[in-house]
């Protein structure tokens, strides 16, 4: 965002105005290095977003911290459920001799 301010600051100066960044307590000019302002802005924005998320507000463009933990919990539950289903299916399989006996019984029933 800050690089886009450079042309705006030039217009301000042409009309006799001055751009001032109160976060770093400095006057901005088109030749200013915006690194200090950018660092200050990121720090302030990050803290503001953290506070808003702590209050339960949704901040568009920032990931929700609670959603990440819920997504991870959901994935873990899915994996555990999948493992349980696989284990139950393996235990539910009939032993080979029982399968043979059932086939023989089926053949005897189907033959008159």
In this structure, of 27-36, 87-96, 99-108, the range with the lowest mean pLDDT score is 27-36
Quote the percentage of the chain above a pLDDT of 70.
Answer: 77
Instruction: Give the number of other CB atoms < 10 A from CB of residue 28.
Output: 22
Tally DSSP H helices, then E strands, for the chain. 4, 2
Do 36 and 27 meet the contact criterion of CB atoms below 8 Å apart? no
**pLDDT given for residue 66 in this prediction:** 56
Q: What tokens does 111 get? A: 């033959």
- Model's pTM, two decimal places? 0.32
Please, which pLDDT band fits residue 100 given cuts at 50, 70 and 90? confident
Is residue 104's pLDDT more than 80? yes
Structural domain spans, the chain: 2-54, 66-110
Quote the percentage of the chain above a pLDDT of 90.
Answer: 3
Q: Which residue has the higher pLDDT, 81 or 41?
A: 81
Mean pLDDT of the chain: 77
């Amino acid at each position: 965002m800050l690089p886009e301010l450079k042309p705006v600051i030039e217009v301000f100066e042409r009309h006799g105005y001055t751009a001032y960044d109160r976060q770093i307590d400095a006057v901005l000019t088109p030749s200013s290095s915006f690194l200090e302002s950018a660092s200050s802005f990121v720090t302030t924005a990050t803290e503001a977003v953290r506070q808003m998320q702590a209050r339960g507000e949704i901040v568009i463009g920032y990931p929700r911290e609670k959603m990440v933990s819920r997504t991870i919990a959901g994935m873990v539950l899915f994996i555990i459920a999948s493992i349980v289903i696989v284990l139950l299916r393996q235990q539910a399989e009939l032993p080979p001799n029982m399968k043979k006996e059932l086939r023989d019984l089926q053949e005897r029933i189907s033959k008159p």
